[in-house]
Chains A and B, each alone.
Chain A
Amino acid sequence: METKDQLSAGKAEKLLYQLLLMRKFEEKSAELYTKEKIRGFLHLYIGEEAVATGVIQALKPEDNVLGTYREHAHALARDVDAGAIMAEMYGKQEGCSRGRGGSMHIFDKEKNFFGGSAIVGGHLPLATGMALASKKLKKDNISVCFFGEGAAAEGIFHEALNLASLWKVPVLFVCENNLYAMGTALRFSHAMQEIEKKGQAYGIESKAVDGMDLLKVMTAADKAVEQVRSSGEPYLLVCNTYRFRAHSMFDAELYREKSEVEEWKKRDPIPRFRKYLLKQNLISEVQLQEMEERLKAEIQKAVDFAEAGTWEAKEELTRFVYSEKPAS
């Protein structure tokens, strides 16, 4: 595989840890949802972890990241504190958005993590605009925008890509094509199903990659990020992937066969990467065991933090509708 030579044992371990943290964090979230600790909508990323991991590892801390309502994993990859994310999902004021946003609206300005957007496609022009600001301010950071293939059917996708290409601004659009827009399959929502061609139609360099293979995503993302940064122009990376879980916790999955899900699970990116690392001697069984312990501890710590969190006073309800002006 292409990235083998570059992958140090240290980085390999970090990446595997991140994948497992995403998976276990969300499995825990689902459990806490059934216990009614987490309410509202909860959209799990399970199955798609190689995409967020592979793309975000290619970024610098000063790059902007914008995600969808299925963004817990992206926040974790961006090193947003797991406890702050869990507390956010509990609705506690210790959450990364003070509990105001919940699962769909994870924000951490210090990490340049800009949500958490729950109107499909609504954040694409924000990414174009943030990249425009980088260009105007002559900064060398880029903006990365994750969205699903469902968003590519929205008019705003086409407007945002056209503007980004017209203005030549440094934005990487990452389409997480998991084949279903809620319950509507790709073939029922797109007349032309190769999403990367939609980018090419706007003069944007576009590439599709197997989103179930971390190494392939990393290779493609490294190249895409490097190109956006050096050219200052947009790029569309389509990661073909699959969501193993339901769309949200309210979804009975009437629209797909169980056998299809099982078939895709054979391509689960996590065991695949783990197997690769063992084979390449980049990790040992002892390290894996030790990793399990660390994961368990980190997730427990996150849950404990959320449990110990506090509710914001009702009197503060209307704070942050407008900015609080410094006392004059």
Chain B
Amino acid sequence: MSELIKITYREALKAGIREALLNDDRVFLMGEDVGRYGGAFAVSKGLLKEFGEDRIMDVPLSEAGFVGAGIGASLAGVKPIVEVMTVNFALLPMDQIANNAATLLHMSGGQLNVPVVIRMSAGIGKQLAAQHSHSWEPLFAHIPGLIVVSVGTHEDARGMLHSALNSPDPVIIFEYTSMLNMEAEIPTDSGSTDISRAKVRREGKDISIITYGIGVYKALEAAKRLSEKGIDAEVIDLRVLRPLDEACFLKSVSKTHRALLVEEAWSTINVSSEVSARIMEKAFYELDAPVKRLGGIEVPIPYPLHLENASVPQVEDIENAVIKILRP
């Protein structure tokens, strides 16, 4: 049996990047302040010293330019890990991502692969107000040609990058700022993440809580509290938001017959909307209760802590929603 190590989410991310750089000379990290500053969130701290400035490239504030350059570099035989400091700046390179990364393979009739990896931190929880608190996973998950993954656990924080770099197609990785200091125990040999599959994080028989990102630990905490009340919830980490692993959640719903969908993104046209639609289309007759979504309140995220917290689902909200579904 493998040993467990205690690690923060930040350290796990860094370990993933470091392993990737050690494994393949063609891999390099480029992004704003990833080198001399040590990374805006200290994820890449120390890597410049270890790998040098050809492998850890600081770039100017030109998100469209350097993301586009990362895409171009990936067309020409190297393996860039492009860091967009936060998702909040990701609309600037959105043209590059949507019109180049996502289209080139198809538009060229299968000739051009775009094996670029683009990481960005996301989520709310640091009182950063409206312009720095976006949950735009659904915008990216809307686009065919992209693989969109979400890092909801420490294990994936370390293991996801390796799989992303092995993908022949562009991968967008969402990491979560508010989780950086969280500690957890993971096996020393946890290995790489299968980025084609969702993962059952907790097995249960009464209801399926389907979520991703920050929602994963919140749902697990809610499930723990619910178990004390005699409710056995299953928690599914979608992990890959495009293409969705629907087999995983359809199987779960077919077992539990109830579903609560949890995410921080605004509810209208979010990932849960799609999951809900697929359950209706493919598992409707398995349901004993209507599918319930618990998403972000539709408001630019405000600064004060109590209002920020009220903008996205909290553990108690998940707990209460489950109780309402099971004991109406």
A322 near B65 (CB under 8 angstroms)?
no
Whether, in the assembled complex, B66 has its beta carbon less than 8 Å from a beta carbon of chain A, the answer is yes
Which of B62, B65, B168, B243 has the most chain A CB atoms inside 10 A of its CB?
B65
Q: In whole Å, how far is B286's beta carbon from the nearest beta carbon of chain A?
A: 27
Q: In whole Å, how far is B63's beta carbon from the nearest beta carbon of chain A?
A: 9
Task: Tell me, in angstroms, the Cα distance from A100 to B106 when the chains sit together.
Answer: 7
A122 near B28 (CB under 8 angstroms)?
no
**Smallest CB gap from A104: residue in B:** B107
A109 near B111 (CB under 8 angstroms)?
yes
Whether, in the assembled complex, A137 has its beta carbon less than 8 Å from a beta carbon of chain B, the answer is yes
Q: Which of A115, A136, A156, A324 contacts B108 (CB 8 A)?
A: A115
B60 near A105 (CB under 8 angstroms)?
no
**Smallest CB gap from A160: residue in B:** B65
A132 near B72 (CB under 8 angstroms)?
yes
B73 near A105 (CB under 8 angstroms)?
no
Q: In whole Å, how far is B112's beta carbon from the nearest beta carbon of chain A?
A: 6
Whether, in the assembled complex, A124 has its beta carbon less than 8 Å from a beta carbon of chain B, the answer is yes
Whether, in the assembled complex, B110 has its beta carbon less than 8 Å from a beta carbon of chain A, the answer is yes
**Smallest CB gap from A159: residue in B:** B65
**Smallest CB gap from A137: residue in B:** B77
**Smallest CB gap from B64: residue in A:** A156
B72 near A321 (CB under 8 angstroms)?
no
Which of A116, A119, A124, A159 has the most chain B CB atoms inside 10 A of its CB?
A159
**Smallest CB gap from B106: residue in A:** A320
**Smallest CB gap from A106: residue in B:** B108
B73 near A101 (CB under 8 angstroms)?
no
Q: In whole Å, how far is A164's beta carbon from the nearest beta carbon of chain B?
A: 9
Which of A98, A100, A125 has the most chain B CB atoms inside 10 A of its CB?
A125
User: What residues on A are CB-neighbors of B104 within 8 Å?
Assistant: 115
- Given contacts A125-B96, A163-B69, whether A101 and B108 have CB atoms under 8 Å apart is yes
**Smallest CB gap from A102: residue in B:** B107
B144 near A321 (CB under 8 angstroms)?
yes
A163 near B59 (CB under 8 angstroms)?
yes
Whether, in the assembled complex, B5 has its beta carbon less than 8 Å from a beta carbon of chain A, the answer is no
Q: In whole Å, how far is B83's beta carbon from the nearest beta carbon of chain A?
A: 15
User: What residues on B are CB-neighbors of A115 within 8 Å?
Assistant: 104, 107-108
B76 near A99 (CB under 8 angstroms)?
no
Which of B78, B104, B107, B112 has the most chain A CB atoms inside 10 A of its CB?
B107
Q: In whole Å, how far is A69's beta carbon from the nearest beta carbon of chain B?
A: 12
**Smallest CB gap from B57: residue in A:** A167
User: What residues on A are CB-neighbors of B26 within 8 Å?
Assistant: 136-137
User: What residues on B are CB-neighbors of A64 within 8 Å?
Assistant: 76
Number of interface residues of A (CB under 8 A): 48
Whether, in the assembled complex, A183 has its beta carbon less than 8 Å from a beta carbon of chain B, the answer is no
Whether, in the assembled complex, A107 has its beta carbon less than 8 Å from a beta carbon of chain B, the answer is yes
B75 near A129 (CB under 8 angstroms)?
yes
B112 near A100 (CB under 8 angstroms)?
no
User: What residues on A are CB-neighbors of B169 within 8 Å?
Assistant: 322-323
A129 near B109 (CB under 8 angstroms)?
no
User: What residues on A are CB-neighbors of B78 within 8 Å?
Assistant: 132-133, 136-137
User: What residues on B are CB-neighbors of A319 within 8 Å?
Assistant: 110
A127 near B72 (CB under 8 angstroms)?
yes
Q: Which of B64, B100, B243 contacts A155 (CB 8 A)?
A: B64
Whether, in the assembled complex, B99 has its beta carbon less than 8 Å from a beta carbon of chain A, the answer is yes
Interface residues in A167-196 (C-beta closer than 8 Å to B): none
Which of A117, A143, A321 has the most chain B CB atoms inside 10 A of its CB?
A321
B72 near A125 (CB under 8 angstroms)?
yes
Q: Which of A95, A124, A133 contacts B68 (CB 8 A)?
A: A124
Whether, in the assembled complex, B71 has its beta carbon less than 8 Å from a beta carbon of chain A, the answer is yes
Task: Tell me, in angstroms, the Cα distance from A159 to B67 when the chains sit together.
Answer: 11
Q: In whole Å, how far is A153's beta carbon from the nearest beta carbon of chain B?
A: 15
Whether, in the assembled complex, B54 has its beta carbon less than 8 Å from a beta carbon of chain A, the answer is yes
A122 near B72 (CB under 8 angstroms)?
no
Whether, in the assembled complex, A130 has its beta carbon less than 8 Å from a beta carbon of chain B, the answer is yes
- A residues with CB within 8 A of B: 64, 93, 95-101, 105, 107-109, 114-117, 119, 122-134, 136-137, 143, 155-156, 159-160, 162-163, 166, 319-325
The 7 A-B residue pairs whose C-beta atoms are closest, nearest first, are A129-B72, A125-B68, A159-B65, A98-B109, A133-B76, A129-B69, A126-B72
**Would you mind naming 12 contact pairs between A and B with Cβ atoms under 8 Å apart?**
A97-B108, A98-B110, A107-B108, A124-B68, A125-B65, A126-B69, A129-B76, A133-B74, A156-B64, A159-B68, A321-B144, A323-B105
- B residues with CB within 8 A of A: 26, 28, 54, 59-60, 62, 64-78, 80, 95-96, 99-100, 104-113, 144-145, 147, 168-169, 243
- Known: A143-B76, A156-B65; 9 extra A-B contacts, CB below 8 A, are A107-B111, A107-B112, A125-B64, A126-B69, A129-B75, A130-B76, A319-B110, A322-B169, A323-B168
